[in-house]
């Protein structure tokens, strides 16, 4: 998931405060690491319990046509688990939807709602459901679909006892998420200073060898993106940041 460089001034986030649990919902393995791994490292270092929910196994990734798609899926699941460990995350759930064919339908909404009700986070982080015309790569159709389904799961599905009655039958009580943080958006209004956690973000991305190879060009690319975000937030030269659009749900 490519990161968009904001053009408007951003508020620098003061930290997680009273937030204890954050669920990150994305389409593919590596989406989190491109978009938010620095922030995740900052949050886990502050004692926040972070979990991942990933809609697909990334089986349509890579360029080796001789490799069975089931093998690619297994590789990418292992890569994502390794990347998660680099930033202090141990709980990674794969929903198993088909890579490249994700739709924001009731099934996806139900599965994300299930993850929310199980983990009970105060904050959900997800892709923006709006197409980013400034950086088209940020708007893979799967990203848009997961962003829309995650927004629907946050409100109203996960808090509504009459949505997805099968979840109640499983003993999963409704849960209200306080904040939705959207990645890769032209509406970004919040920046997380992740300068101290850049090396962990880089290490997480380098775990995705099937997608980035040896990751030799990642350092310069990431610094270019993230320094621009930091400057848009008024941070000093040399700082690095990730950007989000923060939506309250009250």
Query: Rounded mean pLDDT of the chain?
Result: 94
Within 13 Å, how many C-alpha atoms sit on residue 11's CB side? Answer: 9
Q: What is the tens place of the pLDDT at every residue in 11-27?
A: 999 999 999 999 999 99
pLDDT at 4 exceeding the cut of 60: no
Ranges of each domain in the chain: 11-248
53: β partners: 25, 93
Cα–Cα nearest to 31, from 150, 111, 133: 150
Q: How confident is the model at residue 204 (pLDDT cuts 50, 70, 90)?
A: very high
**pLDDT at residue 2, rounded to an integer:** 44
CATH 3.40.50.10320 fits 11-248, yes or no: yes
Residue 71 confidence (pLDDT) above 90: yes
Residue pair 149/108 in contact (Cβ under 8 Å)? The answer is yes
Question: What's the confidence (pLDDT) of residue 63?
Answer: 79
Q: Give phi and psi for 157, each to the nearest 5.
A: -60, -50
pLDDT digits (tens, 9 = 90+) for 111-131: 999 999 999 999 999 999 999
Judged against a pLDDT cut of 90, whether residue 137 lies above it is answered with no
Number of helices (H), then strands (E), belonging to the chain: the values are: 9, 8
Give, as one character, the DSSP assignment of residue 47.
T
Question: In 18-169, which residue ranges form alpha helices assigned H by DSSP?
Answer: 31-35, 37-45, 69-86, 106-119, 141-154, 165-169
Res 65: pLDDT: 86
Rounded Cα–Cα distance for residues 149 and 134 (Å)? 23
The yes-or-no verdict on residue 189 having pLDDT over 70 is yes
State the pLDDT confidence band at 28, using cuts at 50, 70 and 90. very high
Q: Report pLDDT for 1.
A: 45
For the entire predicted model, the pTM comes to 0.95
């Amino acid at each position: 998931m490519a990161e968009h460089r904001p053009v408007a001034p951003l508020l620098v986030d003061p930290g997680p405060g009273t937030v204890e649990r954050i669920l990150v919902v994305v389409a593919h393995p590596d989406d989190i690491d491109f978009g938010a791994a620095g922030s995740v490292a900052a949050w886990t270092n502050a004692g926040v319990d972070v979990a991942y929910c990933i809609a697909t196994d990334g089986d349509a990734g890579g360029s080796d046509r001789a490799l069975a798609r089931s093998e690619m899926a297994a590789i990418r699941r292992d890569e994502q688990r390794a990347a998660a460990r680099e930033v202090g995350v141990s709980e990674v759930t794969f929903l198993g939807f088909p890579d490249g064919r994700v739709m924001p339908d009731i099934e996806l909404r139900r599965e994300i709602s299930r993850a929310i009700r199980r983990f009970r986070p105060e904050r959900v982080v997800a892709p923006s459901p709006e197409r980013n015309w400034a950086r088209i790569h940020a708007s893979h159709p799967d990203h848009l679909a997961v962003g829309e389904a995650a927004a629907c799961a946050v409100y109203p599905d996960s808090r509504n006892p009459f949505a997805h009655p099968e979840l109640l039958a499983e003993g999963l009580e409704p849960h209200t998420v306080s904040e939705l943080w959207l990645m890769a958006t032209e509406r970004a209004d919040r920046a997380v200073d992740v300068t101290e956690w850049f090396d962990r973000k880089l290490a997480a991305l380098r775990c995705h060898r099937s997608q980035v190879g040896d990751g030799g060009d990642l350092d310069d690319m990431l610094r270019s993106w993230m320094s621009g975000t930091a400057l848009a937030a008024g941070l000093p030269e040399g700082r690095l940041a990730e950007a989000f659009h923060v939506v309250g749900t009250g």
